[in-house]
Amino acid sequence: MTPSLYQRLGSAEGIAAIVDDAVDRHAVNPLLAPRFSGRDLPRAKQMGTLFFCMGAGGPQTYDGRDMRTVHAGMNISEQEFIATIDDFVAAMQGQGIGAVETNEVVAILYSLKGEVLRL
């Protein structure tokens, strides 16, 4: 049996490390930092980890707001969206995640485009 994406990313611990790193990168990324200034980053990391775990096939349940609601009124640009994905790719590379898994995550993130852009 092929391990799930969740397992291949290191389960909850591995995904938490990826999300923590990505959010830290967002907070200093010139395109994204203004959106993260003054935000509750520990909460963003916690909810992001739950969302990511569930989306990758883990047993966690994400009970937060849906992506459209979370991003409503933010008017996120295509450049910001790509910068977010780039930060996740860098975080995964920093955690030693392979290209196959990274590409799977990028595809999942890209599938959320309509739920976050220009709302």
| CA separation for the pair 25, 23 (Å, rounded) | 5
Q: pLDDT tens, 75-85?
A: 999 999 999 99
Q: Looking at residue 73, what DSSP letter applies?
A: T
Q: State the pLDDT at residue 80.
A: 97
Mean pLDDT of 4-17: 98
| CA separation for the pair 27, 35 (Å, rounded) | 8
Per the structure, the complete domain to which residue 107 belongs is given by: 5-116
Q: How many domains does the chain have?
A: 1
Assign 26 a pLDDT band (cuts: 50, 70, 90): very high
Tokens, residue 4: 């799930």
Q: State the pLDDT at residue 114.
A: 95
Assign 21 a pLDDT band (cuts: 50, 70, 90): very high
Mean pLDDT of 26-41: 96
Q: State the pLDDT at residue 116.
A: 95
Mean pLDDT of 84-107: 98
Q: State the pLDDT at residue 47.
A: 96
Q: Looking at residue 2, what DSSP letter applies?
A: P
Q: State the pLDDT at residue 62.
A: 94
CATH value at residue 70: 1.10.490.10
Average pLDDT, the chain: 96
Q: pLDDT tens, 55-73?
A: 999 999 999 999 999 999 9
Q: Looking at residue 76, what DSSP letter applies?
A: B
Nearest alpha-carbon partner for 85 in 109, 61, 66, 56? 109
